[in-house]
Amino acid sequence: MCLTVLNSETILAQKNATEAGTFHVEHPTLLNLGFEWSISGDENRNASVDVQFRAVGENQWRDAMPLVRIGGERVFRAREHLDYTVPGGFAGSILNLQPGTEYECKFEMSDPDGVQGKSNHTIVVQTRTEPQAYTGGDTIHVYPADFFGSREEPNATGILQAYYGAGLGDWSVVWEKTIRPGDVLLMHAGLYRVERLDYVDPMMTPFDGLMSLTLKGTPEKPITIKAAGDGEVIIDGDNNHRLFDVMASEYHIFENLTFRNTDIAIYAGQKNVAGAIGLTVKNCRFENVGAAVWTEYAGSSDFYIADNLILGRDDRFRLIGWGGRPRTPDKKGWPEPLYKSHLMVSYYGIKIYGPGHVIAHNSIAYFHDAIGISTYGSPESDPERRASSIDIYGNDCHLVNDDFVETDGSTHNVRVFKNRGVNAAGSGYSAQPVFGGPIYFYQNIAYNIPKGAAFKFSAKPAGLFVFNNTIICEQARTEPYSNAHYQNNLFLGRDTPGKEIMAWPNATDSYSSDYNGYRPNKGVKDQYKWLAPSKGGSIYDPEPDDWQTFETLAEMSAATGQETHGMEVDYDIFENLSPPNVDNIYAVQHAMDLNFNLNPDSKPVDAGVVIPTLNEDFIGKAPDLGAVEVGAAPMKYGPRWLTWAPFYR
């Protein structure tokens, strides 16, 4: 018998070599593609994956950002018994592509210590297009109950009769004549009000006023419910709890409709129960609702929620936010959350979970949160049942009592970009937590956040990429996070008493921060706070002595090696912008009064660094800092059909 004895160097080399595992293509969106690649080994974390791509038919390859090395980061919060360790691998996105286009994508893994298994992949993936009604199906003309004119054939009174052929009272569940994939319910102008307490309600709704839509369309032949174009179609829930339940449906389109007077307008999924696939809600208006669109089911996928005006029930004239008495601080002095928030009359404008969703160009006001990914808990192992490859962009968020956008509960390749948020009583953009990332926050605007937390990175999130944002608020949260990177941002303080402008609470040794601009708060000595472990270490529960504080950015840079190209700025970098009033925390600012354009002669112009696929279309010598490039076409926030301003009045 022959025994092989391995020395310590051989064992270490085996641990440091990378073994390539499963390569996974995430659900494409209209503008972006996401990828995951599992690995084992690479304990010294020096493996990398280079990415190139080109449209099919083109000759020239383009560089994308490398995939992000993930794995080993701990994401936890004891109060909810949450404790998750990110599996080893790589993940990342190719950004800013064209809809409906095939792309050839090439991935090359390398490791100085060696790669075992398949080290390269070349694949073809097509981006999605905006869902449209099928033109070859039947059209059913739908009329309100009080319509007495001539009707086009075939016709029905109300949605349920058109959808199921259902009857009145007990007969409302006798579905003997349902529509088919590709059919269109063409809704004519009028008020479709749920008379839920009427046994023979002409709208044929049951006692609770809930219209449950359970049929299955297909990607090529969706079931479409849309306005006929002869006037406004108003669907009124008569203050019921849920207006539509679509959580057993597939590929439905709601278009050009008005929903009002209900707690949840379109309910599309409950955790561990059921969800919807391919739901589209576009060019619609929501009024006096507690939530517009909601799913928390892991298998819900490929929603397209775009160009909607969504108005909740919260106070329209002042920020209320969180109140009540703080709990007793823990042993390290970190405060617990507050006992109470405002009265919960409106929750999320849009809340989703699952892969492949697109939430774009919505205007949302008067909710607790405008847009959120469900705080789902530890992600499931099946990549088809996780919050991944989600795009949230072009949205206009006004007056929310917590956060503009929450990516809480997401895993990989969530892209939050080109959104504008004004007035948030909690935080601006949230990751509480993220289970590995990358989560990309880029080219967003945030203004008037009295609590002083532009990005709520809490519950130990991992994989945070913050690029080219304009933030009129401090980034002063000090709960540790992992694998966070900042470039080309502007953080301008509001002279909040005693508040630093920036804190970097790095739990692990994977971090970077450079090419950012900061406006310190007047009268504050310690403007910058820094936390980072030694090489290979981690600090998830820091002691006060673990922190370093600095009065100037130059001092911070000299001590940490970060921000070697960073700068300190003031409000004169803008054409005309002043900070919000910190003396009146209830005051409401209006986006139409705010100008986030840079002064063309200011220091942040041409002071950034090029990030592949993200800001390569810069004007001048280099990208500008912040969300708005000098000379670029104005960004359209909110519904593209909404041409008057402001939307929230």
Domains of the chain in sequence order: 8-126 (2.60.40.10)
Position 475 scores a pLDDT of 93
How does 536-564 read in b/e, with b if 16+ C-beta sit within 10 Å?
A: eebbbebeeeebbebeebeebbeebebbe
CA distance 351 to 336: 25
Position 334 scores a pLDDT of 47
In this structure, how many other beta carbons lie within 10 angstroms of the beta carbon of residue 5? 5
Position 333 scores a pLDDT of 47
The pLDDT tens digits for 483-515 are 999 999 999 999 988 899 999 999 999 999 999
Give the chain's length: 649
CA distance 238 to 266: 15
Burial class (CB in 10 A: 0-12, 13-18, 19+), 246: buried
Q: Measured between alpha carbons, how far is residue 410 from residues 280, 352, 463 in Å?
A: 21, 10, 11
Position 325 scores a pLDDT of 52
How does 70-102 read in b/e, with b if 16+ C-beta sit within 10 Å?
A: bbbbbbeeeeeebebebbbbbbbbbbbbeeebe
Question: Which residues of the chain fall below pLDDT 50?
Answer: 1, 5, 333-335, 338
How does 286-299 read in b/e, with b if 16+ C-beta sit within 10 Å?
A: bbbbbbbbbbbbbb
- Residues in contact with 368: Cβ distance below 8 Å, sequence separation at least 6, in sequence order: 314, 341, 342, 344, 346, 347, 348, 400, 401, 402
Integer-rounded Cα radius of gyration of the chain: 26
CA distance 592 to 582: 20
Using an 8 Å Cβ cutoff, are 571 and 596 in contact? Answer: no
CA distance 374 to 237: 25
Q: What is the SS3 assignment for 111?
A: coil
Write out the two tokens for 353: 């979970």
Position 208 scores a pLDDT of 87
Position 299 scores a pLDDT of 97
